[in-house]
Amino acid sequence: MLTIGLNRAITLIAEKRANPGKGRRFGADPGRALGDHPQRGGAILVKKGRYGPYVTNSGINATIPDNIAPDQITLDQAVALIEARAEKTGAKPAARRKAPRKADAARVAKPAADAGQKPKKAAAKKKPAAKPKQKTVVAAE
């Protein structure tokens, strides 16, 4: 910090602002796409991880065995690895969310006051009984 000049510091700051992603030590590996999963849907990616190469699909990660090169893995092999991992962990395919029906949305949006019902009052909380104060007696000599 003490050995760098003001001009060099300004130059470094300008370079950092121009290339915000450059210079970071770790970055997410985007992976190589193999194709879509036939049953679960979503893309299957081959990634390089901290503990070795793996395939991933919808949050299920399966390690690639040492006898298979990550560059040579096929879609069928990746699907088999992911399915084996899903069975082992008990992972289920992600449920697809459905939009609420119009009748359900109208019923949920209508407040209770519009239906002719009075709103319920909150129950009063009971206060704990007050403890009697103890008198202190000072002994006179």
pLDDT of residue 50: 86
**Amino acid sitting at position 98:** K
Task: State pTM to two decimals.
Answer: 0.48
Task: Flag whether 114 is in a domain.
Answer: no
Residues counted in the chain = 141
Query: What are 10-69's pLDDT values in tens digits?
Result: 998 888 888 766 655 556 678 899 999 988 888 999 999 889 999 999 889 999 999 999
pLDDT of residue 46: 94
pLDDT of residue 98: 65
How far is Cα 33 from Cα 88, in angstroms, rounded to an integer? Answer: 24
Question: Could you tell me the two tokens for 57?
Answer: 């699909």
Task: Flag whether 20 is in a domain.
Answer: no
User: Based on the structure, what is the number of domains in the chain?
Assistant: 1
Task: Flag whether 112 is in a domain.
Answer: no
Q: What is the extent of the structural domain holding 32?
A: 26-89
- Check whether 121 has a pLDDT greater than 80: no
Task: Flag whether 140 is in a domain.
Answer: no
